[in-house]
Chains A and B, each alone.
Chain A
Amino acid sequence: MKPIAYVERLNRFYQTQGFPPYKWTVNETAPLTPLQKPLSRCRVAMLTSGGVSCGSAPPFNPQARNDLRLDTVPSDTNTGFFAINDDYYNHSDADRDINCIFPLERLRELAAEGVIGEVGPHHYSGFMGRIYIRSTVVNEAAPALARKLKEEGIDVFLLVPA
């Protein structure tokens, strides 16, 4: 089948809602930080932005704007303990198998096999969509998360959009 032009269609949809043409963030530079050790010795963690709440945490608000909520998810959480609340993508598959969007079990398997060194103590869930305060993300929220990751000795951090 032909690729679906998501970006073009979403932009057209936004404009039917009365918004001006969307201005995408353009990052002029994207410095590469090479791995400092083999993957088999790296500690890996992930973030999902898919409105995924864990255990007794309150559900994410699907209508939220500028919600910088960031939950800490113990990396050994049972995959049945998650709930997804996000109206902006179809999560019917992920409702049945969270690994579709947040591959907790696959990452554990790679650690058990020695492909990666280990899974970090926590994963993260947050930065759900419709965040328009970009400077706050760039200057405050993202650096705060980066500091946590350094404290936890994370070598590789996967950012997974839903």
Chain B
Amino acid sequence: MGNPFGRPFDAAMQRTILLDALRALETVTSGGTLLDLPYEWGEDFAMNLGSGYGARNSAT
């Protein structure tokens, strides 16, 4: 959450994810198709929600 197109200022990653979504329009053959993209963040991160969920990371 908060990074559907990846990292800030990583134009290459943002472009790749956007293109994956657009290209899917040309390849998907049935409605409701979900595609898992292969990209990994590369480092551990806690579940980091906004303050609306109370103290960060408390919803474990």
A residues adjacent to B (C-beta < 8 A): 1, 4, 6, 9-10, 12-13, 27, 29-32, 35, 38-39, 44, 62-63, 86-94, 96-97, 99-101, 103, 105-107, 109-110, 115-116, 156, 158, 160-162
Query: In the docked arrangement, what's the CA distance between A9 and B31, Å?
Result: 28
Residues of chain B lying within 8 A (CB to CB) of residue A1: 40-41, 43-45
Does B35 touch A at the CB level, under 8 Å?
A: no
Q: Which chain A residue lies CB-closest to B41?
A: A1
Query: In the docked arrangement, what's the CA distance between A105 and B8, Å?
Result: 12
| B49–A90 CB distance below 8 A | yes
Query: In the docked arrangement, what's the CA distance between A1 and B45, Å?
Result: 9
Query: In the docked arrangement, what's the CA distance between A87 and B30, Å?
Result: 35
Q: Which chain A residue lies CB-closest to B21?
A: A158
B residues adjacent to A (C-beta < 8 A): 1-9, 11, 14-15, 18-19, 21-23, 25-26, 28-32, 40-41, 43-45, 47-53, 56, 59-60
| B53–A88 CB distance below 8 A | yes
| A110–B18 CB distance below 8 A | yes
| A32–B53 CB distance below 8 A | no
| B8–A13 CB distance below 8 A | no
**Cross-chain contact of B14 among A29, A87, A103 (Cβ < 8 A):** A103
Query: In the docked arrangement, what's the CA distance between A88 and B25, Å?
Result: 30
Residues of chain B lying within 8 A (CB to CB) of residue A27: 32
| A93–B51 CB distance below 8 A | no
